[in-house]
Structures are given as C-alpha cells and as structure tokens.
Amino acid sequence: MWDFEQGEVLAFDKPLRWTSFDLVAKVRYNLCRLLGTKKLKVGHSGTLDPLATGVVIICTGKKTKLIEQLQYDVKEYVTTLQLGATTPSYDLEKEIDATYPTEHITRELIDQTIPLFLGEQWQTPPMFSAVQINGKRAYELARKGQEVELKPKLLVIDEIEVLRFDPQMMQLTLRIVCSKGTYIRALARDIGERLGSGAHLIALRRTRVGNTRVEDCLTIDQFLEKLKTYESPNRLSETK
C-alpha cells in the first residue's frame, strides 16, 4: 500500500519527448489533487533526456531525502548510434551538421574500438545538457547560440557490449552500464571519433537504475489508473 504523505520511491518508464521534470510535475499535480494539499515534496533521482525513454526514479514526501543517495546507482542503457553523421546535440534534437566517411568501418574495427571505452573515462559533457554554468543550464546557452567551454568529468563505464551492427544502414546498437554523470550522447560522439568518423544517437532507452529494471516500472497511465483506487493510510482524503 502506498503512503505518499510519509513518502514513496516510485519507478516510472518515462515517455518519449517528456522531460524528467514533466514527469515529476505530472506526478506532483495528481498527488496534490488526490491528497487535497497544495504542497508535496516530489523529485527525481536522475535526469533523462526528452528523446530517451526508460527508468526514472521519483521520490515523494520524506523519501525525497534518498534522492542524493539514489543518484549514485549504476545505470544501464540500450542505445543506437547512427555512424557517419553528427548533430550539435549529438542526438535527433538538432539537424545533421556534418557527414563523414564510413566505408572503412567494419565489425572488426568496431570490436577493436568499443573495449577502449571500458573503465575510467574523461568525458566532456554536451553543450545541450543540464550542466550548470554560472547559474544557467548549458542547453539554455546553447539554444541562444552561445558557446562555452565545458570541463571534462571523470566517469566509469563498467560494461559496454555490441548488440547489433547494421553495415548497410551504418547503425550500431550498444548496451552500456555506467556511473552517475555519464552522457550517452557524448559517448556516441567519442565513439564516432575513435572510429575515424562521426556519430549521433537515434535511440536511447534507460533499462536499469540500480536494481530497478524497466520491465518493473509503471507507465504514467498505469500510475494514474492505480490512483483511482488509492486510499490514504491516514484517511486524509477520499479516493477521487
């Protein structure tokens, strides 16, 4: 039984094109209506790009104190890279800005290159990211055409596995297990460069956070349906 007043840790499968904040706002709005309150602490334990889907952990009430701890959970992704082209955002948010040769890219070259990304890595975050720069998000500056220098960050990639390579389409699908702060879009950029070409993401799904797998998550529609039968343990409100 849920007890949102005392606090809950909820696992959602974030929809495509929603921001993590969109999901938090939707959950908070419906819980505040349900509980008959104007204020309720609700937060997430890790941002997921709008063009990505998958696991987002949301905490309510007193459980929001766990957010900082949960942020350090290992994350797993399945992603598809388009080789031979780049975009300013390193994904499909922006149009292709440059193309590169791919004739030299073979499965053998990929199998030689991918293991180079295992372990500790210094990674420069994308300009189109939520990194704070003088109190503003990097993506806010990027969308205004401003360029700033982002400092590389140390991260860890525990596992990286080739799931599929389509040499006709030049598309590469990977499974990645990594630490907090890893930008899969930036990893795509770096892989493209190591392959002597370019790359950007065309699909990204977060399949696990800690021990929480995407198949165990609720969609937002499933969550709202469950709220229809919710009864507060403290009987502060009736189910609507």
Q: How far is CA 158 from CA 19, 38, 74, 76, 114, in A?
A: 26, 42, 9, 10, 12
Report residue 185 as tokens: 């879009």
| Catalytic choice (3, 22, 49, 221) | 49
Q: Rounded CA gap, 221 and 239, in Å?
A: 17
Q: 74-104 burial, b if ≥16 CB within 10 A, otherwise e?
A: bbbbbbbbbbbbbbbbbbebeeeeeebebee
49: annotated active-site residue: yes
C-alpha 229: how far from its chain's center? 30
Indicate which residues carry an active-site annotation. Answer: 49
